[in-house]
Amino acid sequence: MSDVIDIVLPEGQLEGTSATLAAWLVKEGAVVKEGEPLAELETDKVVMEVCATHSGIIQSISANIGDDVAPEQVLGKLAVGASVAQEEPAKQTVTSEAGTDSDMAPMVDVSLNEDESARQFISPAVRRLLRENDLSIEPIPGTGKRGRVTRDDVINFLKNPQSRKVESAAKPEITPAGLPKSEPVSTASGESPFSFNDNRQSRPLQGEMVPHSQMRKSIASHMVESLLETSPHVTSVFEMDMTNIIEHRKWHKKEYEELGVKLTFTSYFLAAMAKAAEQVPQVNARFHEDALELFSDINIGVGTALGDSGLVVPVVEQVQDMNLFEISKRLNHMTNKARDGKLTPADMKNGTITISNHGVSGSLFATPIIINQPQVAILGVGKLEKRVVVREVNGVDTMVIKPMCYVSLSIDHRALDAHQTNLFLSHFVDVIEKWGE
């Protein structure tokens, strides 16, 4: 006998957010193991997987792709028990000896269909790797169940130079003039391929409609609400000399790596934000109509771009109680979860102030950076670049080259004024510029 249990999202995993069923990773009749992903749900911030709580066979699927999913909603049925354990090896036998047992023919069909279709089920982490490396999934061997391509499969493919040659062979090499290298520079009649063609006719615009994801819809709604309906935004910009933290990082980077932790500039920024917020607590707050709620914990949200998929903000909590190593370790953990598509709504709760390190993509400064409601401030750090600045050396104004960047604070002008804004930035810059002194 086998028992039938419900496939549901574990209680509390949505943390009050709404979710949409983005994809089924299995079909009815599929044999699954405990912990294997069954479906993907997309919330306004993350994509999460619903995993099998037991080994068994998918008896039925009741939720459709695109459906809104509520906590504890039944998505399907999973048959588990002693008889199920016996069915999996039988299925494998029939698959390898198709046609030897007519009673098992339906199971052969199910297995073949799953083998053919499993490659289309792509996890968020795999989708991101394909997009960032301009890859198609076709040439990548899949080692996952029923041929599904895993994140490790993509990474191994990227590490193999021969694989990359095969992938790029079909793409013609383009000259600076915009022509494929194999294309001749002149025609048989002697006419130059660069001659001007004035016979081209105007035509109606043609385009492709790419539906918004749930995350993109939510980002659009939150940005409009924050900027146009909730908070009057004002931004202040300071300059910052990065010399001391560059030097400090150079001496400690290897030491951190030996302990399995990557030391980034963002770790220093979080530490400096906590120090500055202790001096100016009004930035670490929430605005209410009758009061400003000042928080004792400094929980910093870290804006993390997911390429074309959008932006998420995992939160590093209680930064005021951490040293630089602890901040780095926790930051590594949260950003890795974000880029692997494994964040949960709980990972983005309780933020009290946010940082956008937009300089990593080349931006000098951005204004305003939209406040992550219901917070009252967001810090922006621009691109690090060497610039000529004037410093007093032995009493003489001297032009020197320094690693500089712009740092900004966008604030909710209902809660803060220029005084608190500039005081916070002054403390923040002072901590960074005097690091290690």
Residues assigned a catalytic role: 413, 417
Q: What percent of the residues of the chain are helix, what percent strand, and what percent coil, each to the nearest 5?
A: 35, 25, 40
Distance (Å, whole) CA 280 – CA 428: 10
The residue among 379, 275, 354 whose CA lies nearest residue 321 is 275
C-alpha dihedral over 14, 16, 17, 23, to 10 degrees?
30
DSSP bridge partners of 305: 311
H or E segment at 239? Answer: strand 233-241
Q: What is the DSSP letter of 228?
A: I
Q: How many CA atoms lie within 13 A of 401 on its CB side?
A: 2
Q: Which long-range contacts (CB under 8 A, 24 or more apart) does 214-217 make?
A: 214/19, 214/20, 214/22, 214/42, 214/43, 214/44, 215/42, 215/43, 215/44, 215/45, 215/46, 215/47, 215/309, 215/310, 215/312, 216/310, 217/44
Distance (Å, whole) CA 114 – CA 212: 28
Burial class for 306, CB neighbours closer than 10 Å (0-12, 13-18, 19+): buried
> Rounded to the nearest 5°, which phi and psi values hold at 431?
-60, -45
Q: What angle do helix axes 418-433 and 243-258 make, rounded to 10 degrees?
A: 60
H or E segment at 240? Answer: strand 233-241
> Rounded to the nearest 5°, which phi and psi values hold at 434?
-105, 15
Contact 381, 396 (CB under 8 A): no
